[in-house]
Amino acid sequence: MTKKKYNESKSFFDMTDWLQTPLGENLLQTELSLIENMINRRFGYHLLQLSCADIKMYDDSPIGHKFSLTPSTKVKNGSVVAQAEAIPLAGESVDMVVLHHALDYSEHPHQLLREADRVLIAGGHLLIIGFNPFSTWGIRHKFGRSAGKSPWQSNLLSSMRLSDWLKLLDFKIEQVHFGLYSLPINSSKLIRYSSFMGKLAQRLNWPTGGIYIISAKKQAFPMTPIREPWKAIPRKAKGLALGDNVSIAPTQTHNETRH
């Protein structure tokens, strides 16, 4: 157990350092620009973020209370130390959950997604940011995983697989956006050169970007009203108006009437 926590903390801080490289900064700027309209139009009381690094993706959110879960006590900026697969919150207590590459670095992504579903209120929003395996970033990840550091040590999940998982959890997929069409080379000049080729792809939302962003809404199903069962109408009152609990008077014969 101790080794597992150490590895989680190590990858967390490795990714935090990597985001300060030219390639990491380009990744972060692209992600922030893509989620801007998705996050600043969601309202509520509480926002929870689970990220692969010590970074805040929710500064533009109008939600009042915003906080993060982190695997280390060294992070103290509005963060709660806990495992992402066991969120220490009550069920249906959060209005929005942001998973910033959290699934990419989780050993149990199914469980993490179920936990996000559990803490979200009905009608709450889930925002997932992940690396796209069907991209140049995915190719580099496949061939450079043994030699490179973060993000090449992550476990990539496709947007199609995640969409299927979300549908099984009764989420409605609202948007799926792709981005980051520049080559995954840690050089500012090459990043600028290759970025201009992705402008058209960005407008067309081609599914070959290095990242994807899924916006989903937790379905709010109406409760089935409890109705009082129908009461059988007494046979002797059959044919009368409902609620008239009366007896039928015996019929008098013609002779009885005369007497």
pLDDT mean by block of 10 residues, the chain; 259 residues:
54 90 93 93 93 92 92 73 88 96 94 96 96 92 68 88 96 95 85 76 90 94 53 48 45 48
Length reported for the chain: 259
User: Which are the contacts of 248, defined by CB distance < 8 A and separation ≥ 6?
Assistant: 236, 237
d(CA 94, CA 111): 17
d(CA 50, CA 64): 17
User: Which are the contacts of 17, defined by CB distance < 8 A and separation ≥ 6?
Assistant: none
Domain locations in the chain as residue ranges:
2-218
* Residue at 185: amino acid letter: I
d(CA 94, CA 46): 5
β-bridge mates for residue 130, sequence order? 212
pLDDT at 126: 98
What is the reported pTM? 0.80
Please name the fold of domain 2-218. Answer: Rossmann fold (3.40.50)
Q: Which residue has the tokens 């993706």?
A: 57
d(CA 34, CA 28): 10
What's the distance, Cα to Cα, between the start and end of the chain in Å? 102
Two tokens, residue 156: 């990539």
pLDDT at 200: 81
Q: What does the longest C-alpha to C-alpha distance in the chain come to? A: 120
pLDDT at 210: 94
pLDDT at 241: 45
Q: In the sheet where 94-100 sits, what is the strand order?
A: 79-81, 65-70, 46-51, 94-100, 120-131, 211-218, 171-179
